[in-house]
Amino acid sequence: QVTLKESGPGILQPSQTLSLTCTFSGFSLSTYGMGVGWIRQPSGKGLEWLANIWWDDDKYYNPSLKNRLTISKDTSNNQAFLKITNVDTADTATYYCARIRRGGGVFAYWGQGTLVTVSS
Amino acid sequence: DIQMTQSPPSLSASLGDKVTITCQASQNINKYIAWYQQKPGKAPGLLIHYTSTLVSGIPSRFSGSGSGRDYSFSISNVESEDIASYYCLQYDNSWTFGGGTKLELK
């Protein structure tokens, strides 16, 4: 059974760095073809893809945010991470992580999401 | 970057109606489009991938079609449990979501 769960700081101040953790089970990021992606959703608005990391450490970023994003993984602990630098109020959103597979390319399994609020 | 224009932003339907949502890509996406359903307070759930392939367990009243730049998603015989927001996702070149469609009961 595939499960994912996001964790984050809840609230942080403008200009700080947001650090998010995705802890998953039911698959391994050392398995060929596996990947984890991050997607966010401001309250009442649409979904925005942020970044993906693959089993081979290949990484893809949303071009509009690329300079602020860093995705990484800890295979031994079944975790993936996302850092967003220099946050502002526009980064307030629910952040989701999701499993993705090469050959499929879609986010088939999602975590429940974690709400991050940027406020001074 | 590929842009996905989804319409309409909102849709009102009666139970039993057929509804259709469209997504137009800014370039050919080779049928690499998926459709998600999201209910309030929940994560999106995958319904359809590769234009028309239904995920296991998804009712057959959901369907998808299209090619090139133009794609559609339909629900025939809308049921109360279908009231939700729907999003398309292109995954041919990077990943881009459409703006979403909120389906409400008339």
Report chain B residues whose CB lies below 8 A from the CB of A112: 43
pLDDT reported for residue A18: 98
Q: Which B-chain residues 57-76 have CB contacts (< 8 A) with chain A?
A: none
Report chain A residues whose CB lies below 8 A from the CB of B45: 110
pLDDT reported for residue B76: 95
pLDDT digits (tens, 9 = 90+) for A54-95: 999 999 999 999 899 999 999 999 999 999 999 999 999 999
Rounded CA separation A86/A13 (Å)? 9
For residue A41, the chain B residue with the least C-alpha distance is B43
Distance from the Cα of A120 to chain B's closest Cα (Å) equals 25
Rounded CA separation B10/A26 (Å)? 36
Quick check: A110 and B91 CB within 8 A?
no
DSSP string, B57-70: T--TTEEEEEETTE
A55: left (phi over 0), alpha (psi -120 to 50) or beta: alpha
Quick check: A46 and B87 CB within 8 A?
yes
pLDDT reported for residue A66: 85
Query: Own/partner pairs for A83-86, CB < 8 Å, 24+ apart?
Result: A83/A17, A83/A18, A83/A19, A83/A20, A84/A17, A84/A18, A84/A20, A85/A17, A85/A18, A86/A15, A86/A16, A86/A17
Q: What is the pLDDT along chain B (106 residues), one digit of tens a residue?
A: 999 999 999 999 999 999 999 999 999 999 999 999 999 999 999 999 999 999 999 999 999 999 999 999 999 999 999 999 999 999 999 999 999 999 999 9
pLDDT reported for residue B25: 98
Quick check: B43 and A96 CB within 8 A?
yes
Q: What is the DSSP letter of A91?
A: G
Instruction: Reply yes or no on whether the pLDDT at A104 is more than 80.
Output: no
pLDDT reported for residue A89: 97
Quick check: A106 and B94 CB within 8 A?
no
Quick check: B94 and A62 CB within 8 A?
yes
Report chain B residues whose CB lies below 8 A from the CB of A106: 34, 46, 49, 89, 91
pLDDT reported for residue A103: 80
Report chain A residues whose CB lies below 8 A from the CB of B99: 46
- Positive or negative: CA dihedral B46, B51, B53, B57: positive
Report chain B residues whose CB lies below 8 A from the CB of A49: 89, 94-97
Which H helix or E strand runs over A39? strand A34-41
Q: What is the DSSP letter of A107?
A: E
